[in-house]
Amino acid sequence: MRIGLALPQFEFSVPGERPLRWATVLDWAQRAEQLGFGSLWLADHLFWELSRYGGPPEPGASFDPLPALAALARGTTRPRLGTLVLNGPLRPATLLAKALATLDVIADGRLTVGLGAGWYEPEFAAAGLPFPPPGQRLADLADAIETLRRTWSPDELPPSLPPPVQRPCPPIWVGGKGGPKLLDLVARHADGWNTVWQWTPEDYRERLAALDRACATAGRDPTTVTRSLGLYALVGEDERDLRRRFERLQAVSPPGILDRVSLEEWRQGRLVGGVEEVREQLAVWDGLGVAELVVNTGAAPFVAGPRDDVEIVAAACSLLAPWEASELRN
């Protein structure tokens, strides 16, 4: 199971720094590579706000993921680079195919394309675009996936050039909670399924059963669908250290997100605990066939917690050599 990291991306993403500097994003990416993370991820929003997570409703600026990932491709060498997830309706599929092919070339074949149907209606209004009902957005998403693959085909005309490094094409994952229509789309069109950021193994297992049924209907082997999961992560050396880190996370998180949340509540559906406890949780997810687990160290998506939290997460995920993990504890 590969472990990835959701990078800070929004102007409110790093405690004590607003607006967010690009140098900070690059520094987080390079530190994650040093710690052994196997993939790095950005979201796709014209702007974003935290009201759905209990935070303030004021919209915040965001780095666009495509040029940002191109810059990260030149600033890192090993991790895969991906989007969780691109807002398909905001980007014409043929033009998106051209941009992603170029990005895969720049990244030397390290790109994973996470694609979604869009859900944040204010973005559509700001872009002057209609906000169709969910069924139409899912149908448009299926069409976009097929357009990407067709445009990347070796038989396609020059607009597809240069072709992506990965042949026949970079992997395409669909993001979403996993309702029946979305899982049917995954089974028929996608290479993988990603869902985030709070899941219990029991609830996830139930969704996997639904995915199996969708694959059976589509005549597809469900093991050919890559399973990707995103979870909030908070790790302590022991229970006392975990509580200290949680209290610190409460103090530095945007107002309203963790103000009235206990550590016991924060454990539910998240990767939270001592080092050995988290390793046991990882083994459960590995047993459920999760091929890529993306951790988010802050209290909201693509919001970072304190810098040293990501280091102990890396140790708990066994990304560090034993002597490196020991140094973090000393």
Burial of 74 (0-12, 13-18, 19+ CB in 10 A): exposed
CATH code, 133: 3.20.20.30
Percentage of the chain with pLDDT > 70? 95
Q: Based on the structure, what is the number of domains in the chain?
A: 1
Phi/psi at 41 (5° precision): -135, 145
Read off the pLDDT of residues 203-248 as tens digits, 9 standing for 90 and up: 999 999 999 999 999 999 999 999 999 999 999 999 999 999 999 9
* pLDDT at 318 (0 to 100): 84
Name residues of the chain where pLDDT drops below 70. 156-160, 320-330
* pLDDT at 287 (0 to 100): 97
* pLDDT at 154 (0 to 100): 79
* pLDDT at 322 (0 to 100): 44
What gap in Å lies between CA 314 and CA 297, rounded to an integer? 11
* pLDDT at 136 (0 to 100): 96
The three-state secondary structure class of 35 is helix
Query: Count of CB atoms within 10 A of residue 89's CB?
Result: 22
Range of the domain at 10: 2-329
Spatial CA neighbour of 270 closest among 204, 199, 205 = 199
Separation in Å, CA 133 to CA 130, 139, 140, 178: 10, 10, 11, 17
Spatial CA neighbour of 187 closest among 157, 216, 164, 228 = 216
Q: Are 232 and 257 in contact (CB under 8 A)?
A: no
* pLDDT at 323 (0 to 100): 39
* pLDDT at 147 (0 to 100): 95
- pTM reported for the whole predicted model: 0.94
Query: Which residues are CB-contacts of 324 (< 8 A; sequence separation ≥ 6)?
Result: 315
Q: Specify the DSSP element, H or E, that contains 190.
A: none
Task: Pull the structure tokens for residue 202.
Answer: 């029991």
What gap in Å lies between CA 62 and CA 24, rounded to an integer? 13
Phi/psi at 127 (5° precision): -85, 0
